[in-house]
Amino acid sequence: MTPTLIARDLRKDYPMNGETVHALRGVSLRVDSGDYAAIVGPSGSGKSTLLQLLGGIDTPTAGAVELSGTRLDALSDRELTRLRLTRLGFVFQRFHLLPVLTARENVELPMAEAGVRGPERRVRARELLDYVGLAQRENHRATQLSGGEMQRVAIARALANRPAVVLADEPTGELDAATGREILDLFLRLNRDGTTLVVVTHDDRLAAEAGRVIHMLDGAIRD
Amino acid sequence: MRSALPPSFLALVAVLALVRPAPAAAQLPGIAVERRLAGELSLRVGDTLRLGAAPDSMRGVGVVAAIYEPRPDPAQITKQDRYVRMHLPDLARLLGAPDRVDRFGVALRPGIAPDSAAARLDRSAFGYQAYPSAAIASESSQTFLVVSRFHRAIAVITIVASAVFLLCVMLLKVEERRMDAAVMRFVGVRRRTIFGALLLEAAVIAVLGSAVGTALALAAGAATNAYYRRFFHTALTFSLITPGIVGFSVALSLALGLVAGAAAAWRLVRTRPMVLWGRG
Amino acid sequence: MTGAAWAVKRLARQPLRTGLSLAGIAVAAAMLLDMVMLSGGIDRSFSDLLLGRGYQMRLTPKGTLPFDTEATIRGASAIVAALRREPALEAAGAVLGTSLYARRGDSLITLFAYGLQPEAQSLYQLQAGRDLASGAGAGVLLSEPAARLLGAGIGDTLTLVGRLDPQVVTAAAGRRLVVRGMVRWLYDYRGQPSVGMVLSDLQRLSSSPAEDRASMIVVKARQDSAVPGLVTALRRRFPSVEVSSVADLVATFHERLVYFRQLSYILGSMSLIVTVLLIATLLTIAVGERLGEIATLRAIGVSRRTVVGQVLAEGTALTIVGGGLGIGLGLATARYLDAILTSFPGLPAAFSFFVPRAGALAFAALVLLLTGSLAGLYPAWLAARTPIAATLRAEAT
């Protein structure tokens, strides 16, 4: 298997009230192409911090992340932004769709930023909305969608630029059980169709369905 | 363009030529020279001047008897005119117009109305027009009444702009409290209490803003006076900030602040807490 | 979706605050436009007024401005004759302005009278009837207020008298003249009852004709570019009179109305400050409310430049819409303010303080657009430096 994402001895310290909080204490992991990895652990165990470091949103105090052979710490801010745009997809607990845009416009947004031409991105956005089961809602604004629908639009947005890995942070955390189930099914389908997924979750169902579970405690992976 | 003002009392467009030293100053007519003119021509008391109504008729001679500071006159500050004062017979002789004046001043006996006296004078002769002093004062102040009307109109526009600005800022300040209001509602604080707190905050901001605004206005007024006094070489007051103006401004901004704060606070307390929290 | 459309959608989401901001910007923009019109309009209007008949120079009594005092030039005909012999000059004419009286029954009506040379007149536009012609029986021209006051029209005969002597209660000179035409005097104030006649007629009515007095001599050069050189040459040739070009007179007028120009600068600057404060305040608070959204955008790979562009686009959209509303408001308030200022006593009725010009409009719009757009710089900077991870963590709690 080709390694897609590699973390080597990641450490992250935060200053807090004059003291240093060790959020990550030397985490190493490898995610291969086609993996479906769930990172689980109690609150404060460092799972979201790990996801942010893997996604290049935050920088480690020590250690390194490699995405498809590219070391993230070697990239400038602009290059890192470009990498997040084209090689990574993000799904957040609170969806974070732009409320003034329609479902299709939200999906088109990363493609527009990447320079994909209008007609091409409209076609792809429609395909992705169809894939997540929202073809008929493409012209609804984000505020007119339910929580589950918003999360499906967010997943379509994450897939817009055909990323190497989709990183999801508590994707079912804001949803009721039934709607969460729909998202879990969508993730399974995504993974079956070849998408590499790394998901931070408290949801036992998700962890049970993931191909691999990484347990974290006190900033370290517990084997 | 004709002057906005009636002809000046014995106004003389005099062309002056300085002759120094004075040959026989004691016998010459005395002239009082305005300070700025004396400064510009480097005149001193005792200097002798040639005088005339035009450059080709410089027939008169006079001696500087005094240098005077003219009374500050708003009608004159933008003009470059310079003045000298002479005894009436000396000036009449110089102009070749004996027994000729621009105006008479007439003092009435007590109890006689200036309007009826002026009307009677107008009926009795022609060649002149009689005016009560009040009418002349009113005519002379027309220019300033126009300026005053203009300032009032500008003030109205400024107040409208300030009111809109204040309303906008108050609305934004209160909206910043959305999350606080949501939390207070979650923990059971009554709407009335939240409304009162937001209104109090708006009042405090309005009072503080008014205090800063008053200080700024006083500083700007002082700067305006300093600048224009220097610019026009005058002792006139250009910007006068009276307690009445301060009171009006503070009252207006406080009222606007409270109205804007109340309107924004009312919107906030009527909104469901979950919506305020961003989950509704 | 374009950045502009996105910005407009965001603004439309908060209708009350956007509406208030637009109202504030519109009032500030109106004030700015008015002040730009005021700052340049005074000079422009005065210059247009003076150049209305194409005469670029004025000769007046030494030390005076045209019709500013009752001083006169003696021997005006000789000066005019000398000027007309100058090859660089196209025309020259003398003008006398003085009070005159019309006899109506037993009463006398005071009028302002212009005496002029019909072949070189710079003071009026004929509106009805016939123009003056040189020679005897030339007649008289009336302004509309004079015609109303006298109850006279074209073809009527007026008795005009001058040189009143209060001591003998009589007029030393009088003349019956036929009304030839109705004119609009360019420099009359509103409602001024003025009459015009041939210069020699007025000289006979107002003073001793032998003195050949004029209040002003107007001069037209063949080429505008030659005016500065001609002014210098005429000053040397006629040292006993004041020689002024229109530019000189505009400069003097400029000095007299310096207060309004400075006021226009101050109020114009204040308008810009209000606009900047409004837009900056609104956008700063809007950015503060949207930090989570901005952090998300940055997380999914949207560049800082795009984020900054979005914030600036909102400022620009507010400025364009508010400024557009402000133009209409500004033109309306300019008419109101102009009506106040043109009621200055003694000001020509044709004069305007607020002159709507395409240049002024374009300048005000450009300054407003630049300022309004720049007002978004601080909130845009705040948006650009939003820490992604920390903001997302804070949003998740």
pLDDT of B244: 93
Nearest by CB: A113 against C293, C306, C392: C306
- Confidence band, pLDDT 50/70/90 cuts, at residue B2: very low
- Say yes or no: B279 contacts chain C, CB-CB below 8 A: no
- Please give the span between the terminal C-alpha atoms of chain A, in angstroms, as a whole number: 21
Same-domain check for residues B211 and B89? no
Per the domain annotation, does B40 fall within a domain?
A: yes
Same-domain check for residues B252 and B269? yes
Query: Span A163-177, mean pLDDT?
Result: 90
**Do β-strands B48-52 and C170-185 pair in parallel, antiparallel, or remain unpaired?**
unpaired
Same-domain check for residues B162 and B265? yes
Please tell me the distance from the alpha carbon of residue C364 to that of residue C30, in angstroms, as a whole number. Answer: 9
Task: Identify the closest residue of chain C to B164 by CA–CA distance.
Answer: C24
> CATH number, domain at A203?
3.40.50.300
**Can you tell me the ipTM of this complex?**
0.89
Please tell me the distance from the alpha carbon of residue C369 to that of residue C362, in angstroms, as a whole number. Answer: 10
- Say yes or no: C252 contacts chain A, CB-CB below 8 A: no
Same-domain check for residues B121 and B243? no
pLDDT of A28: 94
Of C130, C138, C144, whose CA–CA distance to C160 is shortest?
C138
Please tell me the distance from the alpha carbon of residue C338 to that of residue C44, in angstroms, as a whole number. Answer: 14
Task: Tell me if A91 sits within 8 A of A147, measured CB to CB.
Answer: no
The total of structural domains in chain A comes to 1
Global pTM reads: 0.75
Query: Span C184-202, mean pLDDT?
Result: 89
Per the domain annotation, does A52 fall within a domain?
A: yes
Q: Could you tell me the residue range of the domain that residue B202 belongs to?
A: 144-277
C17 to B161: CB separation less than 8 angstroms, yes or no: no
Same-domain check for residues B151 and B127? no
Neighbours of B273 (CB within 10 A): 17
Same-domain check for residues B81 and B22? yes
Please tell me the distance from the alpha carbon of residue B37 to that of residue C17, in angstroms, as a whole number. Answer: 59
* pLDDT above 70 coverage of chain B, percent: 86
Please tell me the distance from the alpha carbon of residue B207 to that of residue B254, in angstroms, as a whole number. Answer: 6
Do you find a cis peptide bond into A99, omega within 30 degrees of 0? no
Q: Could you tell me the residue range of the domain that residue A45 belongs to?
A: 36-56+76-221
Per the domain annotation, does B228 fall within a domain?
A: yes
Per the domain annotation, does B26 fall within a domain?
A: yes
Please tell me the distance from the alpha carbon of residue C394 to that of residue C137, in angstroms, as a whole number. Answer: 97
Same-domain check for residues B269 and B177? yes
Task: Tell me if B114 sits within 8 A of B133, measured CB to CB.
Answer: yes
Per the domain annotation, does B115 fall within a domain?
A: yes
Query: Span C170-195, mean pLDDT?
Result: 85
Mutation to test the C interface, candidates B139, B166, B172, most C Cβ within 10 Å: B172
Per the domain annotation, does A24 fall within a domain?
A: no
Per the domain annotation, does A162 fall within a domain?
A: yes
Nearest CA to CA, how far is C228 from chain B (Å)? 22
Q: At residue A72, does pLDDT exceed 50? A: yes
Alpha carbon separation from C82 to A189, C6, C79, C91, C93 (Å, rounded): 104, 73, 5, 11, 11
- Confidence band, pLDDT 50/70/90 cuts, at residue B56: low
A101 to C292: CB separation less than 8 angstroms, yes or no: no
Same-domain check for residues B149 and B273? yes
* pLDDT above 70 coverage of chain C, percent: 94
Give the CA-trace dihedral at B18, B24, B29, B32, to 10 degrees: 50
Same-domain check for residues B54 and B152? no
The total of structural domains in chain B comes to 3
pLDDT of C167: 56
Chains contacting C with at least 3 CB pairs below 8 Å? A, B
Token digits of residue C248: 């000189």
Mutation to test the C interface, candidates A53, A58, A153, most C Cβ within 10 Å: A58
HEC string of A19-33 equals EEEEEEEEEEEEEEC
Per the domain annotation, does A31 fall within a domain?
A: no
Question: Contacts by A13-17 with C-beta closer than 8 Å and gap 24+?
Answer: A13/A61
The pLDDT tens digits for C351-392 are 888 888 888 888 888 998 888 888 899 999 999 999 998 888
